[in-house]
Amino acid sequence: MNPLNFFSRHHHIKERLEALRPQLYRLAYSWTSNPTLADDLTQEALAKALKNVAQLKDPEALKSWSFGILRNCWRDHYRSNRDMDDVDNQVLADEQTPEHHHEQQNIVDKVRGAVSQLPEGQRHVLTLIDLEGCSYAEVAEILEIPIGTVMSRLCRARRGLADKLLEFHPESHDNVTSIRRVV
């Protein structure tokens, strides 16, 4: 390969990786509920991706490849810090009125709390599909699981999330139950 072509390709991939930073951070934050840890995991994933860019066979798979690296960074962190559980739920919200801010913060905290209570596998599938917009096939590749497992985990995660959120608003339970019967 021509050295100029290699440099150009490497520079282009570096730019694309940097553009993925917000998505990687959102995903890491949704998995950890900790802004500092999410930032650290994002940085570690980007550094590993840059270091191992030669291993990327298909540049079109950069997003799922980098999400897979993030997943591995999360696994490594989780394994080495199982006893440490530091959760910081600071969220930046619109600064309209204090009441609006408080209401929005409560909703965000409840949803994040409900998501964080899901089993890890369900939480990963749910956030990759519903937050990051990945396809089932991409999630199967990222998490290294069969596509059928992706679908069943997503179904269980959505049901579990709905059930957890209904705990906050039990009066909505009849509406959700009737919707589930239709579906």
24: CATH? 1.20.140.160
Q: Is residue 50 part of a domain?
A: yes
pLDDT at 107: 84
HSE-CB of 42 using CA atoms within 13 angstroms? 22
Q: Is residue 95 part of a domain?
A: no
Which string of b and e fits 42-53 if b means at least 16 CB within 10 Å?
A: bebbbeebeeeb
CA angle, residues 168, 174, 175, in degrees to nearest 5: 90
Q: Is residue 111 part of a domain?
A: yes
pLDDT at 180: 47
Prediction pTM value: 0.55
pLDDT at 91: 38
Q: Is residue 108 part of a domain?
A: yes
* Number of domains forming the structure of the chain: 1
HSE-CB of 34 using CA atoms within 13 angstroms? 13
Q: Is residue 79 part of a domain?
A: yes
pLDDT at 21: 93
pLDDT per residue rounded down to tens, the chain (183 residues): 444 454 556 677 888 889 999 999 999 998 888 899 999 999 999 999 989 888 888 888 889 899 999 999 999 988 887 654 444 333 333 345 677 667 888 888 888 888 989 999 999 999 999 988 999 999 999 999 999 999 999 999 999 999 988 887 666 555 555 444 443
How far is CA 38 from each of CA 70, 81, 94, 111, 168, rounded to the nearest angstrom? 10, 14, 21, 18, 27
Q: Is residue 178 part of a domain?
A: no
Q: Is residue 175 part of a domain?
A: no
Q: Is residue 60 part of a domain?
A: yes
The residue segments making up the domain with residue 146 are 3-83+103-168
